[in-house]
Amino acid sequence: MKRHHNTSVPSGQAGATIEVAALGSMYQAERSENVSLLNTNIALLGAVLAYAAASVAFLDKVPQLPRAAAGLVPIPLWVGMLYSTVLVALTGRRGSSALIVEEALFSHTGLDPRKRNRVGSKAGEYIVNPTLAPWPYRIIIALVYVVPWLLVGLYTTHLVVTYVRTGPLVYAMGTGYTLLLLLVSTAYIRAFRDRPRL
């Protein structure tokens, strides 16, 4: 009759294994969420550009609209860009979350601490984080974030000044769009404050 010898795993080792497995699942979820947010943002910006191209193509029809309607033509652009701002802020927060999980995972490995900045999320932060990226990337990042808003602002100004022209409606729309711009600026400042810190 054969005897079966049970090999028990030390409780400390078993606990560490379970923790690593749980952290790995959390990390995969964070990375998947970040990829999903990136794809959503790209699709949204594509839709904004498509609407901008279409509205420019039909710009000769705008004089046929009531003055108030002419001033509201850029609203879909603003809505799309505002939502993109929310996605940027959300991506930053999710990035911070992924870094926390990575740090916990790294504590269970023998990876050289000097190489941690070259692995995982930290490697990407040195490209997309404007406070850490080398100067060529900082310029590109600034252009990516500033140019779309600059174009939306110029297009809005052109529509309001050209087709709404004068009267209280011009001041009301100018004030409304200015407040939206201030809101966006404040949101971007907060998003950059909440960015992952290495």
Query: What are the tokens at 140?
Result: 């590109």
The per-residue pLDDT for 155 is: 94
pLDDT in tens, 80-124: 999 988 988 888 888 888 888 888 888 887 778 777 778 877 788
CA distance 175 to 24: 49
Question: How sure is the predictor about 16, in pLDDT bands with cuts at 50, 70 and 90?
Answer: low
pLDDT in tens, 148-166: 899 999 999 999 999 998 8
For residues 189 and 154, which has the higher predicted lDDT (pLDDT)? 154
Percent of the chain with pLDDT over 70: 90
The per-residue pLDDT for 196 is: 67
What does DSSP assign to residue 176?
Answer: H
Q: Which residue has the tokens 């050209």?
A: 162
For residues 198 and 31, which has the higher predicted lDDT (pLDDT)? 31
Query: What are the tokens at 144?
Result: 């990516």
The per-residue pLDDT for 9 is: 47
Lowest mean pLDDT among 12-16, 50-54, 107-111, 138-142: 12-16
Closest by Cα among 137, 34, 136 to 90: 34
Q: Global pTM?
A: 0.79
Q: In the predicted model, is pLDDT for residue 2 greater than 60?
A: no
The stretches of the chain forming alpha helices (DSSP H) are 11-57, 67-71, 75-106, 121-128, 135-159, 168-193
The per-residue pLDDT for 73 is: 95
CB contact at 8 A, 71 and 164: yes
Q: In the predicted model, is pLDDT for residue 6 greater than 80?
A: no
CA distance 26 to 100: 10
CA distance 53 to 136: 29
CA distance 114 to 117: 7
Q: In the predicted model, is pLDDT for residue 78 greater than 90?
A: yes
Question: How sure is the predictor about 125, in pLDDT bands with cuts at 50, 70 and 90?
Answer: confident
